[in-house]
Amino acid sequence: MSRPRRLLGAGVAAGVLGVLGFFFALAPVVGARMNRVNQAKGIPVSARAAALHRSLLVADLHNDLLLWDRDPVTMGWWGHTDVERLVEGNVAIEVFSTVTKTPKGQNYVRNSAASDNITLLALASRWPRRTWSSRLQRALYEADKLEHAAAISEGRLVVVHTADELRKALEFRAATPGIKPVIGLLNTEGLQALDGEIANLDTLFVHGFRMAGLAHFFDNEVAGSAHGESKGGLTPLGRRVVARMQQLGMLVDLAHASPAAFDDVLAATNRPVVVSHTGVQATCAGPRNLTDAQLRALAARGALIGIGFWDGAVCDISPHSIARAIRHAIDVAGVEHVALGSDWDGATTVAFGADQVVQITEALLQTGLSDAEIRAVMGENVRRFLLENLPATHSVTP
């Protein structure tokens, strides 16, 4: 073969390898780099904590697993969660969130809405063409991933949409001596997923979404973000959206909402809200976290507050720091309003994955919480809250 032909063949081969690398290697490599476990920050678990943990109903309010190019069911070589690890960690209820847009140079202080990282990730992860330009279609595609995962999980994952479905799934879990299924619910992180159309809220509801964050890392058509440019409150569209969420029985998630949007929602709603993943200013200062005044306002409205596991929420990611944040939230808001909001697989570094969430049980014991208080925080509060506040039907009411 002539030298030009050899060079041409080598160029074609390199091009093919480059394309294959983009579509099959880039997304996992990026995902692994962005979702790490720093085991050095973990703590030993006592026999007492292990025994108590086995008896708990564990629930977590925020997980971004659906964003990544991974099988959600079987244990992967990277990341924080999958069904196998959730089962191993005795997690009974997990809220899976869909991510539809993130800004370039993402930070906690100020982000423009003009850029988008998820388009490239969608291309590299071989998402359908409809997702390339539509944030709504991205949310629906990620929701379909959860439903497919449940279908192939052999009963280890069950997705619920109503209070009655949750009740039945919990009863089945309690009565089954074998593998305890993980019960999944759907949230979306930021209502940019509406693509600016309120009618798309009903579309999300029909596709199983029962919780929705108003904003993520940038201001959108619905509300200001704590990390946006304007950090404004609810927009006129946002006020209509929140009213419609109340009608549908969708839970408003105030994680990432600006202080102005936070106040607007509490003034405009009569149903409890959630803050799915957050920290508290008293133990970790920063625009991401709740003040004591906000904690009290949430408690007065019957809200549920999920304390996160990553540095933006608790500064030091050790279980002891997570427990300190939980303890402060209990002291200010009351134990019945505090829960877990890990932000596993949320482009975060944590001290442990889902299989080792028992480390939180250990850290809470060391803070002096009673077994009853630990049961409440680790999952019973979420069970009660969802049974009281999930809608009774799949139907969309006019």
Q: Where are the domains of the chain?
A: 35-389
What percent of the chain shows pLDDT beyond 70? Answer: 94
Give the span between the Cα atoms of 81 and 317, in whole angstroms.
17
Q: Find the range with the poorest average confidence among 19-23, 55-59, 109-113, 183-187.
A: 19-23
Give the span between the Cα atoms of 139 and 145, in whole angstroms.
10
| Other beta carbons less than 10 A from residue 183's beta carbon | 26
pLDDT at 25: 66
pLDDT at 205: 98
CATH-assigned architecture of domain 35-389: Alpha-Beta Barrel (3.20)
pTM for the full predicted model:
0.94
Residue 52: is its pLDDT beyond 80? yes
User: For residue 253, what are the β-bridge partners?
Assistant: 213, 274
How sure is the predictor about 395, in pLDDT bands with cuts at 50, 70 and 90? confident
User: For residue 275, what are the β-bridge partners?
Assistant: 305
CB-based contacts of 86, cutoff 8 Å, min separation 6: 94, 182, 354, 355
Q: Look-up: residue for tokens 């003040």?
A: 291
Q: What is the mean pLDDT of the chain?
A: 94
pLDDT at 93: 98
What is the mean pLDDT of the segment spanning 185-189? 98
Residue 31: is its pLDDT beyond 90? yes
How many residues make up the chain in this entry? 398
Q: Find the range with the poorest average confidence among 24-33, 122-131, 275-284, 326-335.
A: 24-33
Stronger pLDDT, 22 or 299, i.e. the higher one: 299
Give the span between the Cα atoms of 250 and 192, in whole angstroms.
16
Residue 16: is its pLDDT beyond 80? no
